[in-house]
Amino acid sequence: MARRIAAGAAYGGGSIGLLGAAGVGVVLAEVQLAKRSVGGGTAPVPPSGDGWYGLAFGHTEPLRMGMLGDSTAAGQGVRRAGQTPGALLASGLAAVAERPVDLRNVALPGARSDDLERQVSQLLTEPGAWPGPGPGPGPGSASHRVPDVCVIMIGANDVTHRMPATESVRCLAAAVRRLRTAGAEVVVGTCPDLGTIEPVYQPLRWLARRASRQLAAAQTIVAVEQGGRTVSLGDLLGPEFAANPRELFGPDNYHPSAEGYATAAMAVLPTLCAVLGLWPETDHLDAARDEDMLPVAKAASAAASRAGTEVTGVRAPWALLKHRRRRHPLPSPAEATPAEATPEDPGTEDPSAAEAHEVGREA
C-alpha cells in the first residue's frame, strides 16, 4: 500500500485515500467521541527556539539547522524554548560537532504537508533568516540562507484531516527535493502512530494506527528517493507513552510533554549527526538489531512498525535499515532560552552549553 501511495504521488494519482469509505464513516463517529477526551487541557503556544546553541564551543561559523513541520516540530505542549525538539536537537548536534549551531524553526502548529512549500520558501529565501553572532557570509548571499541540515516532522494532521495520502507524500517529496537541490541535508521524522493516543478507543484506534503507518511508510519511500534520510517516529506516542501517559503526554492529552519530546529527540539525533558525517558510519550490519539491506518499500514498511529506525537510500531500489542504539534518555533540557550574542554583548554564553555537551556525550 505504501508503494502504491508513493507511485500515485509520483504519477499524479489521487484516488488512494488514507482510509477506505467504510472506515471514514466509523472514524467520523469515533472522532466526535474522542474530541470530548482529547484536548481537554490547553497546550501552551510553542516558544520560539530560534537562536545559537553551543556558544561554549566558540564563535566560529555555525552549523545551520532548519526545523520544519507541524506542532510536533514546533514543540507545542511545552513552555520553555529549551524543551522543544528543535532546541534539544540543536544542543545535541552542537555537542557532537563541538561547534555552535544556528537554529531556525519555521514549523507551524496545525500544519499539513501542503504547508511545507511555504515553510521551505521561508527558510531559504526570507531575508535575515539566519541572524546571529560571529563571522560568516553576509545576509544577501545564497549560502547565508541555505541550512546545512533540515529536520522535517509532519503527517499527524494529514491523518486527522483525512488529507489524501498521495497529495501528502507528493508535498513532502517536493519539499525534500527542493532542500536537497539547495544543498541541505534532510532528515524526516515520519508520521507518528496516532493509534497510541490514550483517550482514543477502538475501532478508531486501529484505523488511526493503520493510516499512520501507511503514511509513514510512504513518506519513507519518497524521502529516501529524493536523497533524504528518515527516522520512524511511530512510537513517539507508543509503548513508552503508554507506560507513562501522565509523564509523556502534555496537558491537552495529545501533544507530548517535555519528556516526550526528549524521547523523540534522542531517536532523531544519531541520524542528524550521521547525515553530517559526525557519527560513525559502517557498512557492517548488526543482525542482532535486525539491520538489513532491503528494497526501499520493504525497508519503509519495517521502519513504520518500529520507532527509531533509520532508512537510508543506497542504490535504487535498495535501502539500508539501521537501528541506531539509544542508551539513555536525554538529560533534562535547560530552562533558559537559547543565547544570542550581539556586537554589544559578544561574550554571551549559551546557558544550555554544559547540558548540550552532556547530550552529545550520552548520544
DSSP 342: B
Question: What is the residue whose three cell numbers read 558525517?
Answer: 277
CA 249 to chain centroid = 17
Please tell me which residue in 255, 257, 323, 352 is annotated as part of the active site: 255
Where does residue 349 fall: left (phi above 0), alpha (psi -120 to 50 degrees), or beta otherwise? beta
Does the annotation mark 257 as catalytic?
Answer: no
Does the annotation mark 328 as catalytic?
Answer: no
Neighbours of 98 (CB within 10 A): 14
Please tell me which residue in 37, 48, 144, 252 is annotated as part of the active site: 252
Please tell me which residue in 50, 59, 70, 71 is annotated as part of the active site: 71
Type of residue found at 124: L
Q: How many helices (H) and strands (E) does the chain have?
A: 14, 9
Does the annotation mark 71 as catalytic?
Answer: yes
DSSP sequence for 132-179: -SSS---TTSHHHH--SEEEEE--HHHHHTT--HHHHHHHHHHHHHHH
Among residues 190, 179, 128, 149, the alpha carbon closest in space to that of 340 is found at: 128
Instruction: Enumerate the active-site residues.
Output: 71, 252, 255
